[in-house]
Amino acid sequence: MASLGYYRLAAVIPHIRVADVPGNTKLLIDGAHDAAAQGAHAVLFPELSLTGYTCGDLFFRPSLQKAALAGLRELAAATAELSCVLITTIPLVVREGLYNVAAVLQGGKLLGLVPKSVLPNYREFYERRQFRPAAELSASSVQMEGFGEVPLGTDLLFEDGEGFTFGVEICEDLWAVLPPSSRLALLGARVIFNPCASTEMAGKAHYRRQLVAQQSGTCLCAYVLASAGVGESSQDVVYSGHALIADNGHIVAESARFSRSMTLTCADVDVERLGAARMSESSYNENRLPQEWRGVRRVRLEPLPAECDLRFARLPKHPFLPPPAQVAERCEDILNIQAAGLAKRMEHSGARCLVLGVSGGLDSSLALLVCSRACEMLGLSPSCIRAVTMPGFGTTGRTHDNAVRMAQLLGVSFSEVDIREVCKLEFSMLGFDPSQRTTTYENVQARARTQLLMNLANMHGGLVVGTGDLSEIALGWSTYNGDHMSMYAVNCSIPKTLIRCLIAHVARNSSPELADVLLDIIDTPVSPELLPPADDGTMEQKTEEVLGPYDLHDFFLYHFIKYGASPQKLLALARHAWGNDYDPAVIESTLRTFLSRFYAQQFKRSCIPDGPKVGTISLSPRGDWRMPSDASPTSEQ
């Protein structure tokens, strides 16, 4: 297997000349060597790139057909020392019929031939004039000079035995109602290659991107398309040389169009991750192929390059955050989902008010904003929100003042209850020495706050809104039956890094006064504020100094839950994504903390309150994550 399950996929668009097979062959040879020098595992060329796609009736010429076969043999011989796979297409005569077939080469051998299934025959395309579709083939193999007996058919899958399995469809196949790639994906292809010759028209590139991205998402696969370039005939249409590489619904690499020189586009795709996603996605597993579609022939590849340095990998540091262009829309979606869930719970329970503790920290601030939006949805006054700040032994002036100011600006009902005296009384009842700063010292405060909120909700017929986030739930960074508990938890599937993003979005759309408060909340270090502040009144207890950076925890959580990444892979991915920001020792120690706490704290997740799922990851024991509370982490070591 390539490094960490990643494979480097490449699309090469050469600047060909129509019907100049010898010249085009040299261009493909150069492109193959260039891609191999970049560490590519598989290289795709456009449709009929040895001859040119726009040869028209010249495809009937025996001289062109023979030249194409000679060019294919030359390409194979000139790349025999390369271990990467090459994919191009040629016109091939089989039993008196001419077919447009993809040729899969590796190490000088022709491993298989895949015919085009859907032939365009409209407007600018008249492919049925020269070629016949795959359905008319009666042969399952063909004898070829220089290659011997070669498998032929649309039922071919190529695999390295380590998870890299791919299939091929050709251009118009993708535009079909039932693309061959759908069948190939259900048979196990994790990568689809499409040698293509798609004409350029105004707006078509956008549609092509959407189509490739959508098919890769539908099939839970990587999809590589290489479309013919500007060297093709411009007699009636123009070709732009568009290369696209998609990974499970996202375009991860794209070439410039209309280039007058060869382009090489690469992406590092985690094929192992695609396999893990397929095991957990019911949309993939619930599909059933008709009996006549289940036949498949598997062609074993020679060993591929072992290394992949991930320099072409799409590996965001913050995987939970939306792309910059989608931040506003995505944040609005999330806030509306949270608020709609809370509004429904208010309606169902008949709650007359919402009760929540506000600390001036990230989580409670987001929860308060969600409460405000839920009341707007229901046409209720913000005064039906009862926000309570409960200073304890670690409360600082900065967080306290931000909580007070935010409540005032939102117009909610606000009260302050100092919990220190009741905690001292409980210390006395327990016989506990408060000079000992143990978990007892901290948890007495946390439970005192939750008890007060619950009783306040009883008094006013209200609903206690939980503020804990997904990162804290994953790490168990909460007090059991303290801040761990509520009547509805609006932040339960939102990680810490995303909470900052959501609050920043609200700040951008708020009054200057509220924006100033929200931005200061974002800049405040994360802390439960359960230990006394420093002598100068500043925060002494900082969560990330204990647990490690939430940047890393959220990164680990995403890849651990969504794709089942091993500890070794998590470490390598984090070093690649975060190596310039965090010392390797910090990354490693944070990973150890994440794994040990994730396993040890499941008992808290097993009884968390209801709350809305807003993204693809949730740790609800009733939905997305089922795990015994006493599971051993041995397998992760």
**pLDDT value at residue 120:** 86
CATH number at residue 160: 3.60.110.10
Q: Domain range holding 588?
A: 548-600
Q: Are residues 505 and 614 in the same domain?
A: yes
Q: What percent of the chain has pLDDT over 90?
A: 90
CB atoms within 10 A of CB 304: 20
Pair (587, 608) in one structural domain: no
Give yes or no for residue 414 having a pLDDT over 80.
yes
Does residue 129 contact residue 57 with C-beta atoms inside 8 Å?
yes
Does residue 28 form part of some domain?
Answer: yes
- Clarify whether residues 347 and 429 are in a common domain: yes
Look at residue 392 in the predicted model and tell me its pLDDT. Answer: 96
Judged against a pLDDT cut of 90, whether residue 236 lies above it is answered with no
Task: Between 108 and 305, name the one with better pLDDT.
Answer: 108
Q: Do 486 and 463 touch, CB atoms closer than 8 A?
A: no
Tell me the residue ranges of DSSP E strands in 37-96: 42-44, 85-94
Q: Are 498 and 321 in contact (CB under 8 A)?
A: yes
Strand, coil or helix: 30: helix
Structure tokens at 510: 């708020």
d(CA 97, CA 175): 24
122: confidence class by pLDDT, cuts 50, 70, 90:
low
Among residues 257, 287, 317, which one ends one of the domains? 287
Q: What is the pLDDT of residue 308?
A: 86
pLDDT reported for residue 123 = 58
Q: CA nearest 464: which of 366, 353, 365?
A: 353
Mean pLDDT of 108-118: 97
Same domain, 619 and 585: no
Number of domains in the chain: 3
Please choose, from the candidates 308, 319, 227, the residue with its C-alpha nearest in 3D space to the C-alpha of residue 267: 308
187/223 same-domain check: yes
Is the per-residue pLDDT at 501 higher than 70? yes
Reading the block at residue 613, the tokens are 């799922």
- Domain membership of residue 624 (yes or no) is yes
Q: What is the DSSP string of 313-341?
A: B---SSTTSPPGGGHHHHHHHHHHHHHHH
State the helix-helix crossing angle for 439-460 and 420-430, rounded to 10 degrees: 120
Banded pLDDT at 13 (limits 50, 70, 90): very high
Verify that 369 and 415 share a domain, yes or no.
yes
Cβ partners under 8 Å of residue 551, min gap 6: 317, 318, 497, 578, 581, 582
Q: Are 41 and 308 in contact (CB under 8 A)?
A: yes
pTM: 0.92
| Measured distance CA(464)–CA(353) in Å, rounded | 9
Strand order in the sheet with 243-247: 250-254, 243-247, 222-227, 191-196, 165-168, 156-159, 297-300
For residues 468 and 489, is the Cβ–Cβ distance under 8 A? Answer: yes
The pLDDT tens digits for 148-184 are 999 999 999 999 999 999 999 999 999 999 999 999 9
- In angstroms, how far is CA 563 from the centroid of its own chain? 9
Last residue of a domain, one of 256, 287, 318: 287
pLDDT of the residue at 441: 97
Residue 322 lies in a domain: no
Query: Over the Cα atoms of the chain, what is R_g?
Result: 30
CB distance 556 to 587 below 8 Å: no
> Given pLDDT bands bounded at 50, 70 and 90, which one contains residue 125?
low
Contact between residue 208 and residue 198 where contact means Cβ atoms under 8 Å apart: yes
**Domain-located, residue 92:** yes
Average pLDDT for residues 469-477, to the nearest whole number? 98
Do 556 and 537 share a structural domain?
A: no
More confident residue, 611 or 295: 611
In the Cβ-directed half-sphere of 32, how many Cα atoms lie within 13 Å?
A: 28
Report if residue 354 sits inside a domain: yes
Side chain identity at residue 451, one-letter code: Q
Residue-wise pLDDT for 613-623, tens only, equals 999 899 999 98
Share of the chain above pLDDT 70, in %: 99
Structure tokens at 97: 């019929």
Pair (63, 105) in one structural domain:
yes
Q: Is residue 232 part of a domain?
A: yes
Instruction: Classify each residue of 183-206 as buried b or exposed e, where b means 16 or more C-beta atoms within 10 Å of its C-beta.
Output: bbbbbbbbbbbbbbbbbbeeeebe
Could you tell me if 491 and 353 lie in one domain? yes
CATH number at residue 420: 3.40.50.620
Is 307 a member of any domain?
no
Q: Are residues 459 and 492 in the same domain?
A: yes
Mean pLDDT of the chain: 95
Confidence at 327, pLDDT banded by 50, 70, 90: very high
C-alpha 217/C-alpha 280 separation (Å) is 14
Secondary structure (DSSP) of 203-242: THHHHHHHHHHHHHHHTTSEEEEEE--TTS--SS--B---
Question: Is 323 a domain residue?
Answer: no
Let me know the angle formed at the C-alpha of 567 by 626 and 186, rounded to the nearest 5 degrees: 60
Segment 214-243 mean pLDDT: 95
Extended beta strands in 322-362, E state: 353-357
Q: What share of the chain is helix, strand, coil (3-state, %, to 5)?
A: 45, 20, 40
Element of type H or E holding 395: none
Is the pLDDT at 535 greater than 90? The verdict is no
Residue whose C-alpha is closest to residue 584's, from 548, 557, 625, 545: 548
Check whether 124 has a pLDDT greater than 90: no
The answer to whether the beta carbons of residues 530 and 392 sit under 8 Å apart is yes
What does the pLDDT read at residue 282?
64
Strand order in the sheet with 488-489: 413-416, 385-389, 353-357, 462-466, 488-489
> Is the pLDDT at 249 greater than 90, yes or no?
yes
Average pLDDT over residues 373-399: 97
Q: Which residues are tagged catalytic?
A: 47, 116, 171
**Average of pLDDT values for 500-520?**
98
Res 291 pLDDT > 80? no
Of 287, 318, 338, the residue at which a domain comes to its end is: 287
Average of per-residue pLDDT across 411-422: 97
What's the rounded mean pLDDT across residues 472-476? 98
- Kindly state whether residues 568 and 452 are assigned to the same domain: no
pLDDT at 373 over 80: yes
Q: 194 near 168, Cβ under 8 Å?
A: yes
Two tokens, residue 622: 């009733």
User: Comparing C-alpha atoms, which of 265, 275, 277 is closest to residue 312?
Assistant: 265
Instruction: Give the pLDDT confidence score for residue 498 in this predicted structure.
Output: 98
Q: Tell me, yes or no, whether 389 and 456 share the same domain.
A: yes
